[in-house]
Structure formats: C-alpha cells, structure tokens
Amino acid sequence: MKFYITTPIYYVNSDPHVGSAYTTIVADIIARYKRMMGYDVFFLTGTDEHGQKILQAANAVGKDPQSFCDQLASRFKSLWEKLDITNDYFIRTTDPEHMKVVQYFVKKMLENGDIYKGEYHGWYCVPCESYWNEDEIGTDKLCPSCGRELKYISEENYFFRLSKYTNALLEHYRRNPEFVQPDFRKNEMLKILESGLKDLSITRTTFKWGVPMPEDPEHVIYVWVDALINYVSAIGYPSDVERFNRYWPADLHLIGKEINRFHSIVWPAMLMSVGLPLPKMIFAHGWLTVDGQKISKSLGNAINPTYFVEKYGNDVLRFYLLRDINFGKDGDFSEKNLINRLNSDLANDYGNLLHRTLAMIQKHYSSVLPAPSKYDEVDEKFKDDVLSRIKEYTELMDEYSLTQAIEKILEILMLANKYFDEKRPWVLAKEKDFSNLGTVLYNVCESLLKVAVMFSPIMPNSSQEVLNRLGYDSKPSSEVLSRWGVLKPMAKIIHSKPLFEKVEIVQQKESEPKVENLIELDEFKKVELRVAKVLSAERVPKSDKLIRLELDVGELGKRQIVAGIAKYYEPENLVGKSIVIVANLKPAKLMGVESQGMLLAAKDGVNLRILTVDGEIAPGATIS
Ligand code: MSP
C-alpha cells in the first residue's frame, strides 16, 4: 500500500523558522509512522521560489533572484537534515522540469475552456501573494490574513473560471466528509463555497519572476498556481505515468490553516479542470506563537530551530512540539515548557525507568535479560493495559490525533512506573526471589520496547538507543506492537548513562533565540578591539560634542580618535585611562579632524560612560 504525503513548499524570502519546521516535523512523523506500518511512503517537501515577494527579497539584498533562491533553498535543505527529516524528494519551483509541467497544466486548463483574458482591478497582499475582494477587506485596506497593507492593482490578466466549480466542490465535500480536516476547518471552507466563488486572476504582467504563460510570455503565471502544481510535478506528472499513477492522488496534504483556501478550494478546482483525481485529505493545522507572540521577522522573535536542536537535541524538540501543542489547534511555543516536558516526561518517566530497570538487570543478572516466569494477576493486568494502550495509539495515529497518541505512550510509562513500584523489585532482590524479580524486570523491558517503537516516528534517535540497550537488534516495526513477549530472554542489555539529561530552567536564557540578527563568531572576529591609553585630550574647536584624543596603542603606535563625548566628560579627566577602541575602522573626518578608529562607550539614553579595562594592562593589548 502506498502513502503520499506533502508539506507546503516554503517561500524562500527568509530563513526557515520554528513554524515552518513544525509542519515539516509533523509530516516526517506521519511519514515515519506509515513506513513503520508497512506503507510505501513518498514524502515530499520543497521551496516556493517565484513571485513578487521573493523578487523583492532578492532585490533588497542586491542579489539576482535565482542565486538568492539557491542560497535560501540550501538553508532549508540543511535544516531538514539537522532535524532528521526523511523526505523522499525536495522540489524547487525554479526546477526547469517543474516549470515545464506548470505550463503543460495551465495549457490544459486553457484548452478545457477554463481560462479567459480579462481586466483585474483589486487588492493584493504581496507577503501572502493573495488577492482579496472588496467585500473581504475593511476600510483600512489591510490584509485579512496577515494584517499588512494591501496594494491596489489594475492589470490585464488571465482568469481561471473558479466560479464554475462551486457546485462540484460542494458535492465533493458532501461525498467525502474527511476531505478537509479538522472538521471546523472544513466548515470554514464550506462557508466560502456556499457564498459562491469568484473567478481567480492567475497571471501577472508587472514583473517577470515566474513561469511564463504559454503562448503569451508577457504574463507570468500566478505564484500560487505555479506552487500548487508541485504536488503532481514532483511525482512525474505527466511524463512518468507509472510513478504518477502509483502515488497520485496524494493521501495527505499537510498545511497550516492560513493556506487552506488555496488547498481545499483552488487546488481541487484546478485538478477538476484538468481531469485529475482530488487528494484524499487536506489537514490544516493551527499556528504556533512564540511566548504568546506571532512569529514574524518584523516582531523580531522568529525562532531558529537549530538553536533548540543544538541545545536539547532533535528528539526533544520534536517531542515537545507534538506533546505540548495540541496538533490541529493553535499553540504556544516556549522554551520553559519544553524544559518542563523534557524533565518530567522524558528524563523522569521514561529515562529514569529505563535506568532503574537496566541497572537491576546488570546487577542481578550480569546484564542478561531474565526470562519471565508465571504471571500473577498484576502482571496479567499490566500486560493487558499496555496492549490496549497500543491499540488506542495506532487508532489515534491513523486519524492524525498525534498529541493524543503521544498521551497513550505516556500512559504506558505511567503504568510501567506504577507496576515497578508496586512489585518492589528491590525487595524481591533482597529476598533472592529471582523468579518473580525476572518477571517484573522482563515485563518492564518489554513495555519499554513498545514505548521506544511507538516513539520511534517522533524521537527516532533515542528510540534506536533504547532498542540497542534492550538488546533488540531489529528495526522498529508494527510487529513489535502486535503481541507481548517480543524481547528474547538471554539478550545482552546495555546499562548506560541517562537517556535524557535534566535541564534547569534559567530565566534569562529564554530570550536568547529571539535575537534576530545573530552573527557568526568569524564575523565578530573581524572587529579588531584593542586597549588604548589616553595620552592627551582636548575639545574640538567649534564643536560642543567632540573631543580629540591622542592614544598610545602599543604595537600599533600612536593614534588620534575623535569621539562625541564632550557632553559627558571633561578632557582632562580622560588622560591616563585605558580605554577600548575599534582599531581597524576606516578613518573618517569629523568637523575636519581625522579620527583613526572609534572608542567604545555605553549609553542608556541619559548617560554615557566609556569602556575601560579592569586593572593594569599594556596599551595595544588585544580584546576578544
Ligand atoms: N509558499 C506557500 C505555500 C505553497 S504550497 C503549494 C506558503 N509558504 S510559507 O513559507 O509561508 O509557509 C507556510 C507554511 O509554513 C504554513 O502553511 C505552515 O505550514 C507553516 N508555518 C509558517 N508559520 C507558522 C506558524 N507560526 N505556525 C505553524 N506553522 C507555520 O505559504
């Protein structure tokens, strides 16, 4: 059986953040789960590289759009590698093959009479690359989706007869109640459909960064039409019939809620127009805020997922995102909550149980897994409870209730901890009751094996580690979940360091990832900071701000610097101080006096204090 899953293709106008990572991680979890359950999975992600927004972003940094996109696309790719994303293909809309398919697709729509030329007058949001009708926006002319200013445009465009498909779409929704999920998102789409659709402008003439319209290259195809077609071009439409037929229709388009209309209305209508089957399901998940704020560059709180991966490990980030944010709903990302989940769910309930159990097997059975003996009522109940939670887990995973599925795994851990405490294996050991002790330890290990397998789509690395420690040398599989007693007695276990390290919450650290303009150490190293001794100082004539300083910079010789500090210092008080200067700044003239560097000073809006060194140090000393 096949399973084709996609993420949105991400705009490359800026670096990926924790929001884009969220969708990709969720898709990866589902893809891994389906593979584990025996499906032939095709998992697609990629980048959306055309349109006005990308062009503007490239222009803003003085780059040609293609090399700008190349650079950004590779940043997305390398982040996905860091996050252990197992996509089978990465599509870019600037791939020439994709561009040809877009033209082919649009030509088919044209041939089918679904595209006509007309005049577009109306409002456009460049950041969302979306058109809005007059009745959808208020008098302030702000984008109903992102709240930014709309642009009035008036151009000759090609239009797609979207209106024609209103009834066919309603009918499709009626026949396929799971077409759009969750239900409350489906209802939002039904409202739009019930109020009737307007035709959609699908070309632009005011810029060239896009796929040219077949036979009318003055027009470029609207970025959304171009982008949506990626879902079929990536699997070989129309030339690789075999591959395309194998994977199409997609089983799941996973998207964020703000682009539901494009996926659940525009895309199905486009597919109907060319006569292709519709995707089986579109799942629109909620949005993440960060510490209660919308993720946005301008707000300066775009969060870099790499920071969390490096600090806590990839598994922890993935677990946290699914555990703490109820999948489907909006949710808030906070480092503090991540640490709490790590400490309680992972380090305590999971890692600690593994640690206690394997420590006892090491001590009392020389690291060889004991065989269970006769089960009493408590053992039987524990086994049945675990197996029933596993069943619930698979049902929940199958309907994409991912957060609830994780809760089932955590319930097993709770049961296993309770079982361990009730059975008091340390007492059994003291009493040398090795038959009952072996049963308890075996059962806990068996439950931990199940937990590791259930966690494996979410936390692949730690799951593999647990499998190794339990002496289980096959891959995680559905077989492990189907019956009790998978672990082989006599297997060699490995008792090792804690699976998850606990982390203390340090308040001030929380703000670290919010710094938007992070630089590399190499960039900082370009600034040459030195200690300089003030030899003399005087006011610059006719200036009430400037002081000229004669400095001794050791091996760099004598320098003069002009600084705007006259309101805060008397020149004579500066003489003899060891201050900090930027020694490799290009010289500049201030009030006709050359300044060969810059001194460092701290300002708080009221006061200004120059930076000095703490104690004696030679002039010219380097600072790092
Ligand atoms: N390029 C279009 C999609 C075309 S698909 C044919 C686009 N790109 S985007 O870069 O803006 O990415 C949008 C997707 O990123 C969202 O749909 C969502 O999946 C994810 N997210 C971006 N910000 C997010 C949050 N703050 N929270 C959760 N997901 C977010 O739209």
Query: What's residue 524's pLDDT?
Result: 86
For residue 277, how far is its CA from the centre of ligand 1 (angstroms)? 24
pTM across the whole model:
0.82
pLDDT of 460 reads 98
- The share of the chain scoring above pLDDT 70, in percent, equals 97
Tell me how far the alpha carbon of residue 255 lies from the centroid of ligand 1, in angstroms: 7
Task: Tell me the Ramachandran region of residue 154: left when phi exceeds 0, alpha when psi lies from -120 to 50, beta otherwise.
Answer: beta
pLDDT the model gives residue 578: 95
Residue 519 pLDDT grade (very low, low, confident, very high; cuts 50, 70, 90): confident
Predicted local distance difference test score (pLDDT) of residue 302: 47
pLDDT at 603: 82
Residues with Cβ < 8 Å from 138, sequence gap 6 or more? none
Ligand 1, closest atom to CA 13?
A: 10
Distance 10 CA to ligand 1 centre (A): 6
Q: Which of 398-412, 500-514, 579-593 has the lowest mean pLDDT?
A: 500-514
Question: Residue 523: is its pLDDT beyond 90?
Answer: no
Q: Is the pLDDT reported for residue 515 higher than 80?
A: no
The confidence score (pLDDT) of residue 135 equals: 83
Better pLDDT: 369 or 517: 369
CA 20 to ligand 1 centroid distance, Å: 6
Q: What average pLDDT does the segment 173-178 reach?
A: 98
Q: Which of 23, 52, 270 is the pocket-test mutation for ligand 1 (most atoms within 8 Å of CB)?
A: 23
Question: Which of 10, 45, 72, 230 to mutate for ligand 1's pocket (most ligand atoms within 8 Å of CB)?
Answer: 10
**348 has a pLDDT exceeding 50:** yes
* Reported confidence tier of residue 517, pLDDT bands at 50, 70, 90: low
> Looking at residues 252-277, what average pLDDT do you find?
98
Confidence of residue 507 (pLDDT cuts 50, 70, 90): low
Instruction: With a cut of 60, say whether residue 326 has pLDDT above it.
Output: yes
Residue of the CA atom closest to atom 30 of ligand 1: 19
**Tokens describing residue 174:** 């009626």
Half-sphere exposure of 205 (CA within 13 A, CB side): 12
Q: Which of 25, 48, 230 to mutate to test the pocket of ligand 1 (most atoms within 8 A of CB)?
A: 48
Identify residue 204 by its one-letter amino acid code. Answer: R
Residue nearest to atom 25 of ligand 1 (CA): 19
- Torsions phi, psi for 344 (to 5 deg): -85, -55
CA distance 265 to 169: 7
Query: Which tokens sit at 528?
Result: 């040459």
- The pLDDT of residue 510: 47
Mutate which of 15, 105, 287 for ligand 1? The one with the most ligand atoms within 8 Å of its CB, which is 287
- At residue 376, does pLDDT exceed 90? yes
- Residue ranges lining ligand 1, Cβ < 6 Å: 8-11, 19-20, 22-23, 48, 227-228, 230, 255-256, 258-259, 287-288, 295
**Given pLDDT bands bounded at 50, 70 and 90, which one contains residue 387?**
very high
Please report which residue ranges of 158-240 form alpha helices under DSSP H: 166-175, 183-194, 223-228, 230-233
Judge contact between 68 and 61, C-beta under 8 A. yes
What pLDDT sits at residue 297? Answer: 58
Residue 521: the pLDDT is 81
Q: How far apart are CA 524 and CA 41, in angstroms?
A: 45
185 closest CA partner among 129, 279, 265, 293: 265
Structure tokens at 97: 């093959």
Q: Whose CA is nearest to atom 24 of ligand 1?
A: 19
CB 16, CB 75: distance < 8 Å: yes
d(CA 549, CA 155): 61
pLDDT-derived band at 300, boundaries 50, 70, 90 = very low
Mean pLDDT, residues 140-160 taken together: 91
Ligand 1 atom at minimal distance to the Cα of residue 7: 19
Pocket probe mutation, ligand 1, options 18, 125, 259, max atoms within 8 Å of Cβ: 259
| Distance, CA of 501 to CA of 316 (rounded, Å) | 11
| pLDDT exceeds 90 at position 303 | no
pLDDT of 516 strictly over 60 = no
Cβ-proximal residues to 91 (8 Å cutoff; 6+ apart), any chain: 9, 44, 45, 46, 47, 98, 230, 233, 234
Is residue 509 predicted with pLDDT exceeding 50?
A: no
Strand order in the sheet with 2-11: 89-92, 40-48, 2-11, 252-256, 282-285, 180-181
C-alpha to C-alpha distance for 437 and 371, rounded to whole angstroms: 10
Residue nearest to atom 12 of ligand 1 (CA): 10
Q: Could you please report the per-residue DSSP string of 332-394?
A: EE-HHHHHHHIIIIIIIIIIIHHHHHHHHHHHHHTTBPPPP----HHHHHHHHHHHHHHHHHH
Query: What helix, strand, coil percent values describe the chain, rounded to 5?
Result: 45, 20, 35
Query: What is the tens place of the pLDDT at every residue in 204-256?
Result: 999 999 999 999 999 999 999 999 999 999 999 999 999 999 999 999 999 99
Q: Distance from the CA of 8 to the center of ligand 1, in angstroms?
A: 6
Rounded to an integer, what distance in angstroms lies between the CA atom of residue 495 and that of residue 607?
A: 59
Look at residue 81 in the predicted model and tell me its pLDDT: 96
* pLDDT-above-90 percentage for the chain: 85
256 alpha carbon – ligand 1 mean position (Å): 6
Question: pLDDT at position 274, please?
Answer: 98
Rounded to the nearest angstrom, the distance between the alpha carbon of 437 and the centre of ligand 1 is 52
For 542-593, what is each residue's pLDDT tens digit?
Answer: 888 999 999 999 999 999 999 999 988 999 999 999 999 999 998 888 888 9
- Ligand 1 centroid from CA 258, angstroms: 8
Ligand 1 atom at minimum distance from 267 CA: 6
Cα first-last separation, the chain = 59
